[in-house]
Structure 1
Amino acid sequence: MNILKDFLLQLTLIVIPIFIYFTFITERVKSDKNKNVIMSILWGISILLCMSFPVSYGENARLDLRFIPLLFGTLYLGYFPGVFLSALIIFFRLYFGISLGFYNTVFVLLLSLPVIFYFQKSFARSKKDKRVKIAVGLSFYYCLLGLTFFGVLNGFSFDHMSVQIIHLIFVVVVTWLFIILSEMIREIQVLRIEVQNSEKFRVVSELTSVFAHEIRNPMQVTRGFLQLLNDPDLPSKKKEYIQISIEELDRANEIIDDFLLFSKPDINNNKKVNVGYQLERVINIIQSYSLNHNVEIKTDILYNCWIYANPQKLNQSLINILKNAVESMPDGGIVWITCTTADDGYIKINIKDQGIGMTNKQIDRLGTPFYSLKEKGTGLGMMISFQIIRSFKGKIIVNSEKGTGTEFIIFLPQESQTERTAI
C-alpha cells in the first residue's frame, strides 16, 4: 500500500507541469522559444521532485517516474531540452552518491536517449494515434532496459523484480494516459483557435459587407442626381439635386468617420471634468436640432458633478444619445435630462424621452455594429457611445417599452472614486 501511495505522489508531481502549461503558458506566452525554456524548467523541477520523493523498497532500492518528464520534454520540446533533462537526472543522481543505482541510471539513459532522439522527429510530424504508440513504446523500452540492468547488477530476486515489473506497468499506463490527455487538450486548443479565427473573419466579413453597402447607398444616390444635372430641361431642379447630392456625400463621410473612430485605438487624454457643465454645452449644441423636430428639453442638473474623463469624447457620447432621443419622437415631445450624485460614488445621468420605445430584443442589440432603428442609421454612433462610457469605467442601463419611450441611465465614477481605483 505504501508503494502505491508513493507512486500516486509521483503521478501528482508529473501532472503539475502539464496543468501549468495548458492553464497559464499557452495563452500568455506567445514565443515558442520562451515556451520551450519555461517547459524545460518545469519538467526539470518535476524530475527533481520525483527523484527527491522516490518509491523506496528493500535496502537502498529506489524507483521513481523521472522518465515521464524526460520523455515528454524530449518528444515535445526537442533535442536540447532532452539533453538538459538527461544531464539534470545524472547530476542529481550523482548527488545521492555513486552506487549501483547511479550506474544503472547512466547505462539506461545512454541506451534509451538516442532511441528517443531518433523517434522525436517522427513524433513531431505524427498525428495523435501514432504519437501515443511512439510514447508508449519508448516508455516500455526504457523500463525494460532498467529492469534488465537492475537484474544484472542486483540479481534477479522475486521481491525486487516484482516491484520493477509494477514500475514498468505503472510507467507505461501513466505514459499512455498522459499522452492521450495532452493530445486531447492540444486538439481542443487548436479547435478553439480555429473557431476564434473563423469568428474574427466572419465579423470582419460582415462589417466589410455592411460598411460597403452603407457607403454605396449615398454614392449611388449622388451619382444618379449628378447624371440628372446634365439634363438641360431641368434647370429649376438643379439646386435641389445639388443639395441632395451634398447631403448624401456628407452622410457617407459621417459613416466613414464613425467607422474610423470605432477602430482608432484609445488615447488617454482624460482630465477633471464637470459633467453638469458638459451637459449644458451639449444641450446648447443640440437645442436648435431639437426645436426643428418640435422637441422640448427639460433639465435638472447638479453642477458639482466631477469625473475624470475626456470632455470631447464625453460630449460626443452624450450628443449621440440625445440625438437619438430627439429622433425617436417624429411627432415631437419632451426629453428630460437630469444629473445627480449617486450614493455608491457614481455620477448618475438620466436621459428620458417620449419616443417610440424599444422591445427587450432591440435593447439587447443596442450598441452592436450596424444595428439601428433609424431608416438611414448605421448603429455606429450608439456603439461608439457605449464604448466611450466603458472607457471611463462607467456603465449604461437602458429601460424602454414599445410606444412609451426610452430611458438611458449613465453611471460614471466620481473623480475621487476614479483616483482611488487607479491607486
Structure 2
Amino acid sequence: MRESERKFRIIFDESMDGLILWNETYQIVDINGSAERIFGLPKEKLLGQSLFDLFNRLEKKKQEIINHIDYVAKNGKQNSTMIIKKNDGRLRHFDYSTKRGIVDGLNLTVVIDVTEKVEVQEQLRKSDRLNIIGELAAGIAHEIRNPMTALKGFIQLLEPSIRAEHSLYYDVITSELARMDSIINEFLILSKPQEIRFLEKDVCQIMQETIDLLNAQAVLYNVQINTQFENDLPVYCDPNQLKKVFINFIKNAIEVMPNGGEISISINRINEQYLQISIQDEGIGIPKDRLKRLGEPFYTTKEKGTGLGLMVSYRIIEEHNGTIQVESEEGIGTNFKLVLPLSKE
C-alpha cells in the first residue's frame, strides 16, 4: 500500500496537466504543481478552499463551474472548456474534465492548457484563407490587367491633346491607374509563391536603407524615426522582399500619426537562434478585438487601405520562417514585432 501510494504521489505531483482532488463538499483536498502554475496560486492557499472560489477568483467563472459540477453529479463525468484572462492580458485556453468518485469520497478535475493548440489552429485557419484568396487573386488580377493595359495605352496616345486642355484630369487618371496597377501587383504576389533569392545579409543595413528611402515622407508628416541596432545580425533572406515588409510597416506607422510623432525601431538578438525587429509608433492604437484579424485579406484599420500590404508582409515573413506579433494600446500606439532566424554556418 505504501509503494502504491508513493507511485500515485509521484504521478500526481509530476503530471504536466493540472490535477485537483476535491471532496463531496467541494473543498480542495490536494492539488499538484501544474495546477498551481495554471491558477497562479500556491498550494498552501488552495487547500481547504472551495472549488467554486478557485475559478471565481480568476475570472467570474462560478456559474460555468456550477453547471459543470451539476452535470457531473448527474452523469458521473463531464468535459468542458474555459478561457481565462491572465494578469499580463493574454487569453489562455483550457480544457478541463471531471470524474466523480475517483476514490471513495474524492473527485478529480484535470485542467489542460491548450492555448498553443488553439493558436496553431487559428494560424492554420488564416493560412487556408490566404491560399483561397491567392487562387482567386490570380484570376481577378489577370482579368483586370487586360483592360487596364488598353486604358493605359490609349491614355498615353491621347496625352498631348489631354494635357493641353485638361492637365488636372490627366494627372488624376494616370495616378489612379498607377494605384490600380499597384493593387494588381499585390494580388499577383498573393496568387503564387514568388521566387525568393536567399542571401546572407545584415538586417540592420536593410532596415537603414529602408529608413533612408522613407525619411522624406516622414519629414512631411513631422515624424521622427529613432533607431537602436545591435551589431552583427546576419540573416538569410531575400533583401528586396524583406525591404518590402519594412516599407509597409514604417509607412503604416507614419500614416497613423498625421500630426507627427516618433517611430522607434530597434533590432536586437533574442538568443543564439533568433533576432527581433520592433517598429513602435505613437498612433491611436488598435482595439484588442481587431488585433487578431490583422493580416486577413481586405481587413484594414485605415480609411482608404486595402489590407493587402499587411497580408503580403505576413506571407513574406512566413516564407522567411519568421513570425509577426502585434502589441497595441489605444491612445498610446502600436508595436509590430518581427522575429526572424539568424543565419548559421
Q: TM (normalized to structure 1)?
A: 0.44
The 3 A distance-change label for structure 1 pair 237 and 271 is same
1:366 is displaced (CA, Å) by 0.7
Match of 2:292 among 355, 358, 364: 364
Equivalence for 1:334: 262
Q: Which has the higher contact order (CA 8 A, sep 6+)?
A: 2
Match of 1:292 among 196, 220, 236: 220
1:237 is displaced (CA, Å) by 8.0
Match of 1:382 among 307, 310, 313: 310
1:314 is displaced (CA, Å) by 0.7
SS at match of 1:367: coil
Equivalence for 1:241: 169
Deviations 1:339-385 (A, max 9, x none): 11112521111100011211122211111111112222111111111
The 3 A distance-change label for structure 1 pair 365 and 207 is farther
Moved over 6 A (4+): 234-237
Equivalence for 1:413: 341
1:263 is displaced (CA, Å) by 1.3
Deviations 1:172-207 (A, max 9, x none): xxxxxxxxxxxxxxxxxxxxxxxx9xx98x955995
SS at match of 2:331: coil
- Give me the whole-angstrom Cα distance separating, in 1, the residues matched to 2:194 and 2:179: 24
SS at match of 1:304: coil
Q: Does 1:320 align with 2:258?
A: no
- Give me the whole-angstrom Cα distance separating, in 1, the residues matched to 2:311 and 2:335: 17
Listed as ranges, the gaps of 5+ residues in structure 2 are 1-124
- RMSD in angstroms over aligned alpha carbons? 3.4
Equivalence for 2:230: 302
- Give me the whole-angstrom Cα distance separating, in 2, the residues matched to 1:204 and 1:309: 25
1:303 is displaced (CA, Å) by 3.4
- Give me the whole-angstrom Cα distance separating, in 2, the residues matched to 1:403 and 1:388: 29
Match of 2:276 among 348, 351, 356: 348
1:235 is displaced (CA, Å) by 9.4
SS at match of 2:292: helix
- Give me the whole-angstrom Cα distance separating, in 1, the residues matched to 2:134 and 2:280: 36
- Verify the 8 A CA contact 2:134 2:192 in the aligned structure 1: no
Letter in 2 for 1:319: I
- Verify the 8 A CA contact 2:268 2:276 in the aligned structure 1: yes
- Verify the 8 A CA contact 1:282 1:318 in the aligned structure 2: yes
- Give me the whole-angstrom Cα distance separating, in 1, the residues matched to 2:165 and 2:212: 35
Equivalence for 1:277: 205
- Give me the whole-angstrom Cα distance separating, in 1, the residues matched to 2:206 and 2:182: 23
- Give me the whole-angstrom Cα distance separating, in 2, the residues matched to 1:240 and 1:250: 16
Deviations 1:226-254 (A, max 9, x none): 9xx9xx9x999822222211211111011
- Give me the whole-angstrom Cα distance separating, in 2, the residues matched to 1:410 and 1:204: 24
The 3 A distance-change label for structure 1 pair 204 and 304 is closer
- Verify the 8 A CA contact 2:327 2:335 in the aligned structure 1: yes
The 3 A distance-change label for structure 1 pair 206 and 342 is closer
Listed as ranges, the gaps of 5+ residues in structure 1 are 1-195
- Give me the whole-angstrom Cα distance separating, in 1, the residues matched to 2:216 and 2:303: 22
Larger radius of gyration: 1
- Verify the 8 A CA contact 2:280 2:335 in the aligned structure 1: yes
The 3 A distance-change label for structure 1 pair 381 and 205 is closer
- Give me the whole-angstrom Cα distance separating, in 2, the residues matched to 1:236 and 1:414: 56
The 3 A distance-change label for structure 1 pair 408 and 206 is same
Letter in 2 for 1:307: V
- Give me the whole-angstrom Cα distance separating, in 1, the residues matched to 2:235 and 2:132: 34
1:309 is displaced (CA, Å) by 0.9
The answer to which of 312-321 and 237-246 deviates more is: 237-246
Letter in 1 for 2:331: G
Number of residue pairs the alignment of both structures matches: 207
Q: TM (normalized to structure 2)?
A: 0.53
- Give me the whole-angstrom Cα distance separating, in 2, the residues matched to 1:341 and 1:309: 16
% identity of equivalent residues:
37
Q: Does 1:254 align with 2:182?
A: yes
SS at match of 1:272: strand
- Verify the 8 A CA contact 2:314 2:324 in the aligned structure 1: yes
Q: Which structure's residues are more often strand, by fraction?
A: 2
- Give me the whole-angstrom Cα distance separating, in 2, the residues matched to 1:248 and 1:268: 30
SS at match of 1:253: helix
- Give me the whole-angstrom Cα distance separating, in 1, the residues matched to 2:225 and 2:232: 21
Deviations 1:314-338 (A, max 9, x none): 1111111111111111211111111
- Give me the whole-angstrom Cα distance separating, in 2, the residues matched to 1:293 and 1:306: 32
Letter in 1 for 2:308: L
Deviations 1:35-71 (A, max 9, x none): xxxxxxxxxxxxxxxxxxxxxxxxxxxxxxxxxxxxx
Q: Which structure's residues are more often helix, by fraction?
A: 1
